[in-house]
Amino acid sequence: MHRSLRLRLLAGSLVWILAAVAIAGFLLADLFSQHVRERVDAELNGHLDQLTALFDIAPDGTATLRMPLSDPRLSRPYAGLYWQVDGGPAGTIGLLRSRSLWDTALAVPGDALADGEVHVHDVPGPDASRLRMMERLIRPAEHPDTAYRLIVALDTRQIDEPVEEFSTLLSIALGVLALGLIAAAVVQVGVGLAPLKRMRAALGAVRDGHARRLEGDYPQEVQPLVDELNTLLAHDEAMVERARTQAGNLAHAVKTPLSILANAARQDSSDLARLVDEQVGDARRQVDYHLARARAAAAVQQAGLKTPLRPVLDGLIRVMSRLHAERNLHIAVADVADTLTCRGDTQDLQEMLGNLLDNACKWAATQVAISAAIHDGQLAVHIDDDGPGLSEAQRSAVLARGVRADEHTPGSGLGLAIAHDLARVYGGDLRLDTAPLGGLRATLQLPAA
Amino acid sequence: MRILVVEDEPTLAQQLTDALTDAGYAVDRADNGLDAHYLGDTEPFDAVVLDLGLPQMDGLTVLGKWRSAGRAMPVLILTARDDWHQKVAGIDAGADDYLTKPFHMAELLARLRALIRRAGGHASALLNCGPLCLDTRNSQLTRDGQPVSLTSHEYRVLSYFMHHPGKVISRTELTEHLYAQDFDRDSNTIEVFVGRLRKKLPEGMIETVRGLGYRLIEPA
C-alpha cells in the first residue's frame, strides 16, 4: 500500500470518516435516549403530582379521587399509562387503580419509602410489557398513621419506540453522510493528484518525442518539480549542443592542417609525399568516422525531439542538385506526405539522409528516386538509384566496416556506414537491396513520431 | 577570370592562390569576413572560394549579405564543417557548391571551372565559337581541330571572351577580371594581348567597338 499515494490517502480518509461517523452515531443515539427518558420521567412526575393532588380520603375513611386524572390513556385498557394506589389501613394492593389496568394490579417492589419520597423502578407490567414506574408515599393529614403509596407507570415501549425509530433514521443519515464523505474523499484525492497524473502524461509526451518540455501550469507544490525537470531537459539539450560544437571545432582544427599537408604533398613526387598523401587520407577517414560516432552517441540522449521528414528531404535535395550539378540527375520524390515525422533530432536525420542521398547521386546514372511510408510505427525511407548497385558481399562489407566500396570515387566512402550506425543508435536500421531502377536501394528505418 | 579566395589559414590560402594562379586565374585574397564582404561587394569576381569559419564575420553572413545586395557571382564554400546540416545552410544561404576539407586541389579546380561555366550559361566544359574550341579543363585551344598554343595571359583574355561571346567587353572590365586588385593595371597591356590574340585567331573575330571595347563574334 505504501506504493500508492492514492491508496494511502484514501485509506486515511476512510478510517477517519468511519471512526467519526461511528462515534457521532453512538453519542447522538445515547443523547437522544437519555433525553427521551428524562422527558418520560418528567411526564411520570407530572402524573404523580396530579395523582397526589387529586387523592383524597373521604369522611368515611375510604380513599378516593376527587376527579379522574386528565390523560385519556388512563381510561383505555392496557394503553401503556397506569396509576394505582396501595396501602390504606389494611395495606391493600391495588386500593385504587386506573381503568387502563383493567383487572390487573401493579406489582411494586417492596421497598421502604420515607414520607413524600419519590422512587423510580423498572418492573414487569401487564401484557408482557416492561414498565417505568414512579411511586411516592404519602400520609394524609387527617390519618397520619395510614400510609398510601401513589404509583404511576408507563410502558417502556413508549420510550423504546421513538428511540429505535430515531436510531434507524440516524443510521441511515449517518450512512449516507459516510458514503458522501467517502465519495468526496475519492474525488478530492483524484483532483489533488491530477497534476501528478498530468505531469506523468507530459513526461510521456517528452519521451515519445511529442514535446520538448513539460508544458502547462501546475499547482505551486508541483511547479518546482516541473521547473527542475525542464531545467534538466534544457541542460541535456545544451550539453548535446556543446558536444556537437566541440566535435565541429575539432573537425575544423584538424582538417585544415590536413588539407595543407595533402596539398603540399601533391606538389611533390617523393616517397615521403606519397606517404603523407596516403596517411592524410586515412586520417581524414578516421576523423569523419569517429566524429559521426560521437554525434551518434550524443544523439538519442536527447528526449522529446521529432523531425518532419519532408523539409529535411527538400533541403538535402537542394544541396544535391548543387553538389552534383554536373551529373544532370533527375531526383524524384514520390509519396512523401508532409505529415511524416520521425523521432529524433533534425541534424541527425539530415546526416543519415544526406549520406544516403549523396551516395545515390554519386553512383546514379541518370536518376534517383525517393519514397517513404510508415509501417508498424517505423518510418521507412527508400532511396533508389539506377547506378551499378552493390553485390551481396559488398553490401555487408560496406555496412560492417565502413570501408570504401570503391576507392576511386571521391568522398570518404563512409557515408553508408555512418548512416547505418546512426540509424542503429536510434533503434532503426539501414538495409541495402536492389532498387526497382536497377541500382542500389537504401532503406532507412526509423521510429516514427 | 578573377577569383576571390577567402581563407583565414595563411598557408592554405597561399596554396589555393598558387594553384589558382597556375590554372590561369587572377586571385584576390581576404583573410577575414569584413574584408571579404567589402571586396566581393565592390569588385567584379567571376567566382569566390569561401571558408565559413572566419574572424570578424562568418562566411555564411558574408554570403547572405552579398546575395541580398544582388551580388550573383558563383560561390564555392570550402570548409572543414562537413555535416549535412551545414551544407544545407550553406546552399540555402546562396552558395553554388560546397567542398569539404581535406580536399583534392584538382577537384576544387574542376568544380570552380564548372561553376564559372554554368554562370555564363555554358553546359559543357568545351567552349565553342566558330572554328575555335577552348577546353577549360586543360586550357587547350583548337582552331578547326588544330591545337593553338597560347601564353597564359593570352589564354586569360581569350577565356574571358569565350565565356561571354557576342558581348561588348570594355577594357576596364577586362582589366578587372584579368588582374587581381593589387596588380599594377595598365590598359595598354590589354591592347597588346588583344593584338597578339588577333594574330592567332581567324581575322575579324575580335571586333573593336569604338569607344566601348571589344566583342568576340563568330566569323560569317
**Do A34 and A146 fall within a single domain?**
yes
**Do A88 and A14 fall within a single domain?**
yes
Q: Quick check: A405 pLDDT over 50?
A: no
Domain that holds residue A324: 305-449
Indicate the pLDDT class of residue A442, thresholds 50, 70 and 90. Answer: very high
pTM: 0.63
Most B CBs within 10 Å, among A250, A254, A256, A348, to test the B interface: A256
**Do A297 and A329 fall within a single domain?**
no
pLDDT of A240 reads 78
pLDDT-wise least confident of A18-32, A357-371, A396-410, B82-96? A396-410
**Do A361 and A277 fall within a single domain?**
no
Q: A142: which DSSP letter?
A: T
Contact A258 B101 (CB under 8 A): yes
Q: Quick check: A68 pLDDT over 80?
A: yes
Domain boundary among A278, A303, A328: A303
- Cell for B108? 576544387
Tell me what the pLDDT averaged over chain A comes to: 84
> How far is the C-alpha of A204 from the C-alpha of B107, rounded, in Å?
50
- What kind of fold does domain B126-216 have according to CATH? Arc Repressor Mutant, subunit A (1.10.10)
pLDDT mean over A195-207:
84
Does residue A125 belong to any structural domain of this protein? yes
* Domain limits, CATH 3.40.50.2300, in chain B: 2-119
* Domain limits, CATH 1.10.10.10, in chain B: 126-216
Share of chain A above pLDDT 90, in %: 20
pLDDT of A416 reads 84
Contact A255 B9 (CB under 8 A): no
Does residue A70 belong to any structural domain of this protein? yes
Cβ(A1)–Cβ(A11) under 8 Å?
yes
**Do A287 and A397 fall within a single domain?**
no
pLDDT, one tens digit per residue, over B53-93 is 888 999 999 999 999 988 889 999 998 887 888 899 999 99
pLDDT, one tens digit per residue, over A216-248 is 888 888 888 889 988 988 888 888 778 777 877
CATH number at residue A363: 3.30.565.10
pLDDT of A443 reads 93
pLDDT of B174 reads 84
Q: Quick check: A123 pLDDT over 90?
A: no
Residue with cell 592562390: B17
Q: Which amino acid is residue A189, in one-letter code?
A: V
**Do A297 and A310 fall within a single domain?**
no
**Do A9 and A157 fall within a single domain?**
yes
pLDDT of A361 reads 92
Number of domains in chain A: 3
Q: Quick check: A402 pLDDT over 70?
A: no
**Do A64 and A104 fall within a single domain?**
yes
pLDDT of B59 reads 92
Listed as ranges, residues in chain B with pLDDT below 50 are none
pLDDT of A263 reads 85
As a residue count, chain B comes to: 220
- Chain A CB contacts of B17 under 8 Å are none
**Do A404 and A314 fall within a single domain?**
yes
pLDDT-wise least confident of A333-347, A379-393, A396-410, B178-192? A396-410
A to B CB pairs, distance under 8 Å: 89
- What kind of fold does domain B2-119 have according to CATH? Rossmann fold (3.40.50)
Cis peptide before B102 (omega within 30 of 0): yes
Indicate the pLDDT class of residue A367, thresholds 50, 70 and 90. Answer: very high
Q: Quick check: A2 pLDDT over 70?
A: no
pLDDT mean over A61-80:
85
B21 compared with A397, residue with greater pLDDT: B21
Does residue A184 belong to any structural domain of this protein? no
Q: Quick check: A23 pLDDT over 50?
A: yes
Indicate the pLDDT class of residue A45, thresholds 50, 70 and 90. Answer: very high
Does residue A435 belong to any structural domain of this protein? yes
Domain boundary among A126, A142, A161: A161
pLDDT of A409 reads 46
Q: A137: which DSSP letter?
A: E
**Do A121 and A26 fall within a single domain?**
yes
- Chain A CB contacts of B87 under 8 Å are 319, 323, 354
**Do A290 and A333 fall within a single domain?**
no
pLDDT of B53 reads 84
Cβ(B75)–Cβ(B33) under 8 Å?
no
Q: Quick check: A404 pLDDT over 80?
A: no
A interface with B, Cβ–Cβ below 8 Å:
248, 251-256, 258-264, 266, 280-281, 284, 288, 295, 315-316, 318-319, 322-323, 325-326, 346-347, 350-351, 353-355, 410
DSSP structure string for A249-307: HHHHHHHHHHHHHHHHHHT--SHHHHHHHHHHHHHHHHHHHHHHHHHHHHHTTS-S-EE
**Do A16 and A157 fall within a single domain?**
yes
Does residue A176 belong to any structural domain of this protein? no
pLDDT of A406 reads 43
Angle at Cα A362 formed by Cα A361 and Cα A363, nearest 5°? Answer: 95
Chain B, nearest residue to A327 by Cα: B123
